[in-house]
Structure 1
C-alpha cells in the first residue's frame, strides 16, 4: 500500500492525542493468558470522549472545507457519535441536527441529555420508519436547509464512510509509536464494530503501519457477513474518493461474531458482569452497547485459544461511558 506523503486530507485538531496505552496488570493476575493492553480512546476528551472524535476531526474539517454551516447526522437515541457531533458543533459554531432512531423518553438521560445540553435540534423517528427511510429523511432535511439559505453537510451513522476512514488509519501511526515505546509487537488488535468505520480505518492503517498485527472487529449488531461487506465498501469508497494506490485484496477484514446477545444496545448478564469486574479490577469503565460486548468477546476468545498462547493483544477502547447510565437497573446489586 502506498499513501502519497504529500497528501493530507483536511483535519481539525479536536481530540486530546496521543491517548495512553495501558497494560491490564491486575486482570492478568486474575485471568492469566496473553497480555492485554488497552488503547485508551475513551480519553480523547471529557464529554467529548471516544473513538468518534478521531473520525469527526476529518468529517467536520471536510464540512468546513465545503463552506457548510449546518451538520446533519443520525443514530440511536443513545448514540455516542451523535453526542460527540453535537458537542463539537457547539464548539465550532455549527448548527447540529440529529435524526435519532426511537421514541424520545419523557426525561432524557445519558447521551441524549448531552445532545440537548449542546443545543442540537433533535428529530426522533420510530425504528421502522428510521430504518426504511433514513436516506430520504437525510436528503429532505438537507433540502430544507438549502431552501432557507443554509448549506448542510451530512455525516452518516458513526462518521463511517470514506472520509471517516482517515480517523483510525492515522490512529495506527500513533499505535506504532506506542508499540515502539513499550517494546511490544501485538499480534491482535480488537475493537467493537457497530457501523464499520473504526474497523475499516484500523484494517487499512494496520496494514500500512503495523506489520504482523491483525485487526478484529466484534460486531455489536447485525452479523459477520454484514460487516465484511460494510468494511469492504468503506475501504473501496476511501480508495476511490482519494485516488489511493491501495491493493484492497491485501487487506484482511476479520470479524468475531456471536456476541450480539439480545440485540443492539441490549446486553446479557455476562456482559454486565464483565463491565463490573473490569471496573473493580482496573478502574476501567466499559459500556453495555459497544465496549462491554467487545471486551467480553476478547476474554472468551482468548480463553478458548483463538489468539494463541503468546504475544500481546491490544483492545481499542472506543468510549461510551454515558451509555452505562441508561442501563443502571442492571447494576443495582453491586456495591457495598
Structure 2
C-alpha cells in the first residue's frame, strides 16, 4: 500500500497515544488492556471521524466545494466533526439529522446539538427514520447549485472507501506503535456503526499481514447485516488502497449482544462501562458508540471469551461531547 498517493488534510499533529489501562485490567482480572486514544484526534472534541475527514475534505477542496453536506443521527459526532472541518477550512456546512428515535431532536439540547449552533452550522434539516437521506443531501446540493455554490456530499459517518482510508492509515499507525513499544496485541475491539472505522482497520491490518483479529461491537444493526456491511466496505477500501490479499468473511466479526433496545438507547451495561472507564482510568466514553463497545469488551472478558492471558487494544472512537446530553442516566434521574 502507498497511501501517500491520496490527497490528505492533516488535522492531528502526530499519532494518537496508545495507553495501558492497568486499573481496569486489575478490576476485571485480566486480560492486559490498552486503549488507542482516537478521542484525542484533532478538530472540535476529537473522534474517529477526523481521520476520515482528512481524506474526504481534501477531495472536497480539490473539487472546488464551498459547502460540506452530511447526515447523521441526532447528537451525531460525525456531524460535529464535519462542521468543525468546514470551519477549519473556511467552508460552510449544512446538516441533515435523522431522528432514529421518534421526536428525539431538540435544538436546545446539550451535547453535540449545542455545538452545532456554537460552531455556526449554516442550516439543519431534520428528517424521520426511513427517509431517503441521500435524496435529502442531493436536494441541498441542488439548492446550493441554484445559488451558484458548490456542495460536497459526505455520507453518514464518512464511511465510503475514501473516508475509510483514514482507518487503513490508523491500522498502520497502530502497528508502528506496537513495534516501537514492544507491545504485540492479540485482539482489537472497536465500535461498529457506519462501518468505515471497522472496515478500514481490517483492510489495513490484512494489507500489512498483521494477523490480528478485530472484534466489532455493534451499536445499531443485527450481526449478519452489519458483517455484510463491513465486509463490503472493507473490500472496497482494500481495492482503493491496493491491498492484495483477499478479505474473506472470516475476517469480519460483529457482535450485537450489547446493542440493547436500539441505536442510542441506553443499557445498564453501557452505563456501567462508562462509569468504570471514567472512575478507573479517567477516560470519558459516550453512551451511543464507545460506551456500548466498552460494554462488549467487558462482557467478553467476564464470560472468558477473551482470555486472561490476552493483550487487547480498545480503539476509543471518541464522542464524549454527546455524554452531556445523557446526564440523567448517570445521576439516577432516568430509568431504562
For these two proteins, the number of residue pairs brought into alignment is: 329
| Conserved? CA contact 1:271–1:296, under 8 Å | yes
Q: Where does 1:30-41 land on structure 2 (aligned, <5 Å)?
A: 30-41=27-38
The reply on whether 1:51 has 2:48 as its aligned counterpart is yes
1:268 counterpart residue number: 267
Alignment partners' CA distance in 2, 1:183 and 1:72: 42
Q: Call closer, same or farther: CA 1:65–1:118 in 2, change over 3 Å.
A: same
| Conserved? CA contact 2:43–2:84, under 8 Å | no
Q: Where does 1:132-211 land on structure 2 (aligned, <5 Å)?
A: 132-209=131-208, 211=210
Partner secondary structure for residue 132 of structure 1: coil
| Conserved? CA contact 1:98–1:122, under 8 Å | yes
Higher mean displacement: 57-66 or 299-308: 299-308
1:225 counterpart residue number: 224
Alignment partners' CA distance in 2, 1:282 and 1:198: 24
Displacement after TM superposition at 1:332 (Å): 1.2
The reply on whether 1:120 has 2:121 as its aligned counterpart is yes
Partner secondary structure for residue 207 of structure 2: helix
Equivalent of 1:97, from 94, 97, 119? 94
Alignment partners' CA distance in 2, 1:56 and 1:253: 24
Alignment partners' CA distance in 1, 2:159 and 2:197: 7
Displacement after TM superposition at 1:43 (Å): 0.8
Displacement after TM superposition at 1:177 (Å): 1.7
Displacement after TM superposition at 1:306 (Å): 2.0
Q: Which runs of 5+ in 1 are unaligned?
A: none
Normalising by structure 1, report the TM-score: 0.92
Displacement after TM superposition at 1:124 (Å): 3.2
Displacement after TM superposition at 1:252 (Å): 0.9
| Conserved? CA contact 1:206–1:215, under 8 Å | no
Partner secondary structure for residue 285 of structure 1: coil
Normalising by structure 2, report the TM-score: 0.92
Partner secondary structure for residue 161 of structure 2: coil
| RMSD, aligned α-carbons | 2.0
Q: Which runs of 5+ in 2 are unaligned?
A: none
Alignment partners' CA distance in 1, 2:199 and 2:19: 23
The reply on whether 1:78 has 2:78 as its aligned counterpart is no
The reply on whether 1:279 has 2:278 as its aligned counterpart is yes
Alignment partners' CA distance in 2, 1:6 and 1:158: 21
Alignment partners' CA distance in 2, 1:184 and 1:6: 25
1:191-236 CA-to-partner distances (Å, cap 9, x unmatched) read 0011000001000011123612111110000111121121122234
2:109 counterpart residue number: 108
